[in-house]
Amino acid sequence: MSSPQFSHLDADGTARMVDVSAKPVQRRRAVAEGRIELAPATVQALRDRALPKGDVLTVARIAAIQAAKRTDELIPLCHGLPVEQVDVDFAVDEGGVKIRATVITSAKTGIEMEALTAVSVAALTIYDMCKAVDKGMVIGAIRVTEKIKE
């Protein structure tokens, strides 16, 4: 039985960046989603824009866009990609906020890590901006929901 091949390890087991130089440039889109659970009072304050640190969702959207553009600085073996579009949407309900990020590029490799990073940083930003009033927040369910090559 042969051992599995890992794309980020060379023959000696040393970590390496995957060589994508021979791949064609393609338009790529990835969508990721996640959620942050909030106390009902925090949800109401968020809806009323009455949290002490200001407009939480606007700041979280900007943080998510910035994070998507800098993913290769955070994830060691990610390729630096030309991020061409980042859309971040929030759906506030009684229990918290659903976060959805769509990221588009024209590149030789996928952009799902940028979408995941955008969602993660949006959730962390919401957490940071609400932590003074809510000690029980939970971040989770972060996942890729679409990955498309065109």
Residues identified as active-site: 128
Report the distance separating Cα 39 and Cα 94, nearest Å: 8
Nearest residue to 56 via CA among 114, 137, 116: 137
Instruction: Report the b/e string of 83-120 with b at 16+ CB within 10 A.
Output: beebebebeeeeebbbbbbbbbbebbbbbbbbbbbbbb
Tokens of 130: 């609400």
Nearest residue to 99 via CA among 40, 31, 33: 33
